Structure 1
Amino acid sequence: MNALVKGALVVGALIILGAGLSAGLREPAGKAQEKRSLTVAAASDLKFALDELVRGFRARNPGAEVQVTYGSSGNFLAQLSNGAPFDVFLSADVAYPRKLAEQGLVLEDDVFLYAVGRLVVWVPKDSPLAVETLGLKALTEPAVKRIAIANPQHAPYGRAAESALKSQGVHEAVKDKLVLGENIAQTAQFVESGNADVGIIALALALAPAMKNQGRYWEVPLDAYPRMEQGGAILKRARDVELAKRFRDYLLGAEGKALLERYGFFLPTE
């Protein structure tokens, strides 16, 4: 074998060896692309706003998976107190995450405000009720047989609706017509589907694309019910604390605030 051939073989062997060492130093493909996940328990009034916010968060955090479960804040409080596996809690009443903090379940007692909720009286577009001029008095009309509100026992929007009915002097006249939704999203479904004639729901749902063109609403005056400060917390048991904090910061940042305002929420400083 001549010297030229021997040299070529040696160089080839070195190239192969170098490639093998380089491959060994690289992270496995699966590890390099490992996905990070976050589970969020969120109040039902956030359904449309948070769905949109999550899409924006994912776009800015490739590989991050965010799974949101919507429901009643009061029910979530009970579940989280008993160890439900959520990383972040977004409540329609800041009192609930504060209770979790008192139980020592919140990361560094980190309870934050993200919005102030608002109530509206909502009817389908073809309803004969003139809610725009009658307001809550429209609920006393003889044509109204069923009025949907969220269950005051565990839904903050239900408590607010009940308070508004009482403060405006119509609760006694309409209490036998009330149909209770498990949460504010189900309450909206009751009236949207025709299972109730009128509903007292979150402004955020009335402004959502799914309902905006389907009905009409009148906003309940803010002084008719207690201020609805909505708050959240990162749970101490969160599996990916860094990602949870990043999600919280995105919600409280400029893009999150702009989105919440677009869905009819006040910001906590207002």
Structure 2
Amino acid sequence: MRHWLWLLSVLFCSATMAAPAPKVAAAANIKFAMEQIVSQYHADTGRQVQVSYGSSGNFVTQLSHGAPFELFLSADEKYVAALVDKGVTLDAGHIYAYGKLALAVPNNSPIQLDSQLNSLKQLLADNQINRFAIANPEHAPYGERARELLQHLGLWQALQGKLVYGENVSQAAQFALSGSTDGGIVALSLAVAPQFRQRSRYIVIEHDYTPLAQRMVLMKSASVEAKQFYQYLQSPKAQAVFTEFGFGLPDSR
């Protein structure tokens, strides 16, 4: 009897281990938070997750053309809405976090940190800004909001010719904090990450742009494993990680 119980246990474990890792498309701004959550998920369940990072707009194009992702975590819920309208999702999804912008600059930047960007404005007037980074506003939500903020503060025109666009906000953060630019408007979730914080300064900006409601959604092709990870992302453990990286939570709005 014990032999059969042992054999059944081995077969069950083997089947669990053989289950393919669900393929997840995730907005670049949650990269560091997601890496921690995926590691935590593996420690808790023994399961793997395969995550690709990029801009939300580009993922919508890929998913619309049949890209084999099972779960999509967008940086802006309007991109999920576009997929819902195309009929390729299971439902309308769930808001998992609210994102925030940050002004982030290398330690040697002349830009002083203030949420109204007055230092940036003065340096532009004095022609002392060479390059300034944001994500591409054509397909990256954090780039859209950066443009919106700069337009509201009357800085957009003055920055023309000095802007360096990242393909996504993670690349924009690398540009902003590498020393190749004077700084940039990036996701707070990246600015607070140890990888960037050691060589940069930042300040949170929570005004003058449309809120970044970050929504996730399962595709119609979602496997059981993808659905399990989707539920895990809504757990207190995962939510605590999002909070650690500067996100607001749905129930705190």
How far off its partner does 1:221 sit? Answer: 3.1
Counterpart AA for 2:139: H
Superposed, which structure 2 residues align to 1:168-183 within 5 Å?
Answer: 168-183=153-168
Q: TM-score if structure 1 supplies the norm length?
A: 0.84
Q: Which moved more, 1:78-87 or 1:98-107?
A: 98-107
Counterpart AA for 1:153: E
Q: TM-score if structure 2 supplies the norm length?
A: 0.90
| Cα distance change on mapping 1:28 and 1:178 into 2, 3 Å | closer
Q: Which moved more, 1:174-183 or 1:75-84?
A: 174-183
* Corresponding position of 1:126: 108
1:79 corresponds, among 37, 62, 86, to 62
1:263 corresponds, among 235, 245, 253, to 245
1:66 aligns with 2:49: yes
Q: CA RMSD in A?
A: 2.2
The percentage of aligned residue pairs carrying the same residue is 40
How far off its partner does 1:61 sit? Answer: 1.4
Q: Tell me if structure 2 keeps the 8 A contact 1:144–1:198.
A: no
Q: Tell me if structure 2 keeps the 8 A contact 1:37–1:66.
A: yes
Secondary structure in structure 1 of the residue aligned to 2:48? strand
How far off its partner does 1:29 sit? Answer: 8.2
Q: Tell me if structure 1 keeps the 8 A contact 2:137–2:147.
A: yes
1:148 corresponds, among 124, 130, 133, to 133
Give the unaligned 5+ runs of structure 2: none
Alignment deviations for residues 125-184 of structure 1 (CA, whole Å, 9 cap, x no partner)? 22232124x742333313211110000100000000000001112112222211111000
How far off its partner does 1:71 sit? Answer: 0.3
1:234 aligns with 2:218: yes
| Cα distance change on mapping 1:156 and 1:36 into 2, 3 Å | same
State how far apart, in whole Å, the 1-side matches of 2:221 and 2:170 are.
28
1:166 aligns with 2:147: no
Secondary structure in structure 1 of the residue aligned to 2:233? helix
How far off its partner does 1:268 sit? Answer: 2.1
Superposed, which structure 2 residues align to 1:1-270 within 5 Å?
Answer: 27=11, 31=15, 33-62=17-46, 64-107=47-90, 109-132=91-114, 135-140=116-121, 141=123, 142-222=127-207, 224-238=208-222, 240=223, 242-269=224-251, 270=253
Q: Tell me if structure 1 keeps the 8 A contact 2:80–2:92.
A: no
State how far apart, in whole Å, the 1-side matches of 2:7 and 2:149 are.
67
Rg: which structure is higher? 1
Q: Tell me if structure 2 keeps the 8 A contact 1:113–1:229.
A: yes
Q: 4+ residue runs of structure 1 moved beyond 6 angstroms? A: none
State how far apart, in whole Å, the 2-side matches of 1:47 and 1:53 are.
10
Q: Tell me if structure 1 keeps the 8 A contact 2:116–2:153.
A: no
State how far apart, in whole Å, the 1-side matches of 2:161 and 2:74 are.
29
